[in-house]
Amino acid sequence: MSHAAHKDYAGAKLGMWLFLFTELLLFGGLFLLYAVYFKRYPHEFAAGGKQLDWAMGTANTAILLTSSLCAAIAVTAVQRCELRRAVWLIGGTIFCAAGFMVIKYVEWSTKIGHGIYPGSAHLKEGPLGESIFFSLYFMTTGIHGLHVLIGGALLAIIALKVRSGEVTGENYVLLENGALYWHLVDLIWIFIFPLYYLIL
């Protein structure tokens, strides 16, 4: 790698890490809000958590962990110049992202069908803490879901670039950054899952 290329690579990596840091601040703020209200309404939060489908949450956790593994192996495949294999692995990650969103859609639809959504009459009639729990749940999982969609679209673009030869074993920082973003999406879900689905 030439000095200029190395400089570009280092700059691209640093830029990505700074961007990921701002993403962590965003979700960190949401987790901080959760902690403040959980301290105030522990029983209502526990009651809210029991109304979530832990089986769907567990399935989505397994799906995202699998997707992260595919993304990591895709980076290694590109580094070894196994471009066709890399495209298939990125495709696997995107397929997992789609599966995650389908489960999330079913989950949200079921909750909304039962009258559980921010500002609903059902929640207004219940305890305030439970209403806050579901408001935070919809906001946090909604923003996370948006990140899943963005990550999936980003990886689809990168897969096309691998296929066209723009991303290669010599120039793979775009894929590496895309995989880093995807790992962050996965990591955030690892925090969301126990906070909302496994709350006691």
Task: Say what the pLDDT of residue 6 is.
Answer: 60
User: Does the global pTM surpass 0.85?
Assistant: yes
**% of residues, the chain, pLDDT over 90:** 88
Return mean pLDDT, the chain.
94
3-state secondary structure 110-172: HHHHCCCCCCCHHHHHCCHHHHHHHHHHHHHHHHHHHHHHHHHHHHHHHHHHHHHCCCCCCCC
pLDDT in tens, 67-90: 999 999 999 999 999 999 999 999
The set of residues, in sequence order, having a beta carbon less than 8 Å from that of 161 and lying 6+ positions away, is 167, 174
pLDDT, tens only, 86-108: 999 999 999 999 999 999 999 99
User: How many whole angstroms separate alpha carbon 141 and alpha carbon 193?
Assistant: 10
Rounded Cα distance, 189 and 145, in Å: 10
Query: Among 11-25, 32-46, 149-163, which stretch is predicted with the lowest mean pLDDT?
Result: 11-25
Angstrom CA distances, 58 to 8, 100, 184, stand at 40, 11, 18
- Give all domains of the chain, ordered by start, each with its CATH number: 3-197 (1.20.120.80)
User: Quick check: 138 and 117 in contact, CB under 8 A?
Assistant: yes
- CA 132 to each of CA 38, 48, 118, 190: distance values in angstroms, whole numbers, following the listed order: 9, 9, 8, 21
CA distance 192 to 188: 6
Q: How far is Cα 119 from Cα 166, in angstroms, rounded to an integer? A: 48
